[in-house]
Every structure is written in C-alpha cells, then in structure tokens.
Amino acid sequence: TQEIALFLIPLIRGVGRRYQFTDKWKKEAMERSVIRLPADEMGRPDWGYMEGYIRQIISQQEYNIVLINKFTPPHYEIEIRSNVARWREFCVGDLFTVRNGKGITRQEIYTHPGGLPAIQSGEERAGCIGQIAADYCARMGYVVSRGACLTVARSGSSGYVGYQPQQCVVGDSAKILEPKFEANAQRLLFLRTLLMRNKPKYAYMDKVTKEKYEKDTIKLPMLDDGSPDWGYMEGYIEGLMQEFQDRFLPLFSV
C-alpha cells in the first residue's frame, strides 16, 4: 500500500547512504542489505502497524493544515480589529511570483507515493489531493515550490487561496504564489486572508490567469517609508493563534 511504501522509503534510503561516496549500490548488494522493521508475534513484518503509523502522521499533518486554513480570520475582521491607520494597495505581482502548475493526477500519486504534498484546485485540505515522490516530480519537470508558500486555484474553486506550510508540487488546476519577501507562517497567513477577499472576482466562469492575478491588488498596513509593515502582520496573526489555542484547544484535551 501507499502507507507501507512511505514507511519503507526512509529506511531503504538510510541503507543507501552507505554507497553515496564510494561504491555504487548494485542489485546484488541491495538485495543483501538489511533494514529493521516492526514485527508481529510470529516474527513477520507488522504491515498493519506500519500502515497505521503513516496514516497517523498524514492525518496529523492534514489536521494542522485544515485548522490553519479554516480559522484564519476573514479579511474584514483584520481591517475592523486593526488599529493601523495607514494601509495602501500593493500589487500581487510585487509580493509574489505567480507560477503556473503542471500535470499531477491521482493515478500518479498512487503509483509514485512520497512525502511531497500535491496541490490542485479545491478548498478541502487546502487543495491537497495526496502526497507524491519528489524525485518523480523532478523527472517529470513538475512545478515545485522553494518552500512554504500560498497556492491559488486556477479553475473549479477559482481564486481560493491555500496556505502550504512546506514545499509542495502544484498541478495544472492551481498556481504557486512564491513569496518575494522573507516568508514565515504569520506573514503568509495574513496575506492569504486578504487575498481571499479577491476570490469573488473569479467565482463565475473566469479562470485565474498569471497575468491577471499579478495585477490584482490587496491593501496592507505600511510603514513610514511605504513598505509593508511585516512586524504588525506577524504580531497580529500570533495574537490570533494564541486566542485560538486558549479558546479551542482545551476542548480537545482529555
């Protein structure tokens, strides 16, 4: 299964590192290599444990992403609650490099499982349709982000913006918004909220195009020199995260 493959990949890679700088890892040597696996009472590989372990990790990652994307406040809450007097418009293209996605099907994810989130259009799980092997994406020339980023749906749920907390690969129904600034979670979440304000522009028939989206604008708090006030944005989101933890996390405690 995909889960078993994801469990085995890092273990096999660990053995393969022995051959990186000297010998090639030939077929015969590979077959003789040994890896440690959890075993059942009969001494056989405990495949059920491996599947459950990976499902638990994936489930926690997905849960964290859903919480972050779901509970980031709407744009009007930011503006109403803000005590920043000066806001100005910034072009999306001045803040992000918009990169068109390419390819990625569920069949590819099934046949080439891995740890790289694959993003398409859709609002569930911030557009993530599964996890695929990074080396396969490199061979196929697919579009991979440099790190944490935002993504925007090109069609379907056009204009929906998702926060991706790690490197991801984006398919042909979405686009990467690669930050031109020094990015962190707080800055990206603040910008995601304001970019969602533009979603209705693309809700009916219009697809998100690179050229159109780069010319779109959002209002941001600014410093005296006219640059974005990143410090305020970070502090604002950190305050909301703390508020969320104080209000909701006790509900999940045992």
**pLDDT tens sequence across 147-196:** 999 999 998 788 999 999 889 999 999 999 999 999 998 899 899 988 98
Arithmetic mean of pLDDT, 40-64: 71
pLDDT in tens, 75-112: 545 554 555 558 889 999 999 999 999 999 999 999 99
Confidence (pLDDT) at 197? 86
Please state the rounded mean pLDDT for residues 196-215: 84
Name the residue ranges covered by the structural domains of the chain.
2-53, 72-252
Nearest to 116 by CA among 75, 185, 31, 176: 176
Determine the pLDDT at residue 252. Answer: 43
pLDDT of residue 162: 92
Could you tell me how many helices (H) and strands (E) the chain has, helices first? Answer: 10, 10
Mapping DSSP to helix (H, G, I), strand (E, B) and coil, where does residue 213 land? helix
When comparing pLDDT for 203 and 101, which is higher? 101
Q: What CATH homologous superfamily does 72-252 map to?
A: DNA methylase specificity domains (3.90.220.20)
pLDDT value of residue 201: 85
**What residues pair up with 96 in beta bridges, in sequence order?**
179
Tell me the per-residue pLDDT of 1-12, one tens digit each, with 9 for 90 and over. Answer: 667 777 787 777
pLDDT band at 237 (very low <50, low <70, confident <90, very high): confident
Q: Read off the tokens for 46.
A: 């405990």
One-letter amino acid at 40 equals: D
Local confidence band at 141 (pLDDT 50, 70, 90 cut-offs): very high
